[in-house]
Amino acid sequence: MPKTVADVMSRDLIIVRPETPLQEAIEILAERRISGLPVVDETGKLVGILSETDLMVRATGTTPPAYITLLDSVIYLKNPATHERDLHKALGQTVGEVMSQNPITITPDKSLTDAARQIHDRKIHRLPVLDANGHLIGILTRGDIVREMAASQD
């Protein structure tokens, strides 16, 4: 019988809330040697993910978008909203200000093959696992899938 997400996902979750100070979350990532943290509200519903990628903007800073002027008008060559989002992330002091919203999720009944395909195709590192009410019940990472592959070879 094919493995499901529920068979392999991590259930021992380390979570943060949107109001968690960013420095505290950074310390958790470093101490636990993990690359991301699910962000939940007071009811346990997933509201975002804080990942190392979100923190890279803070480490590298932002560059204003390129533009040209034509007849007293400014024409941006890249979307200025992207710069505003990156600037907000670079200056954020709480997890909620820096996290990525609307993460891609999966349910525990999905096959491990489907989950692996989503992770691969969408080039993501983790899939939060939600129950029918939208509450976070687990997380499936690339590492979980690789460990399962190794275990199935025994």
Question: What pLDDT, on the 0 to 100 scale, is given for residue 17?
Answer: 97
Angle at 59 between CA 56 and CA 65, to 5 degrees: 75
pLDDT by 10s per residue, the chain, length 154: 789 999 999 999 999 999 999 999 999 999 999 999 999 999 989 999 999 988 887 666 655 566 667 777 767 667 666 656 665 566 678 999 989 999 999 999 999 999 999 999 999 999 999 999 989 999 999 999 999 999 888 6
Query: Collapsing DSSP states into helix, strand and coil, what is residue 103?
Result: coil
Q: How many domains does the chain have?
A: 1
Q: In terms of C-beta density within 10 A (0-12 exposed, 13-18 middle, 19 or more buried), how is residue 50 classed? A: buried
Q: To which H or E segment does residue 136 belong? A: strand 136-141
DSSP state letter for 77: S
Question: What pLDDT, on the 0 to 100 scale, is given for residue 57?
Answer: 72
DSSP state letter for 65: P
C-beta separation of 94 from 82 below 8 A? no
Give the domain extent around 78.
5-152
Query: Which pair of tokens denotes residue 106?
Result: 């999966």
Question: What pLDDT, on the 0 to 100 scale, is given for residue 122?
Answer: 94
> What CATH number did the domain enclosing 85 receive?
3.10.580.10
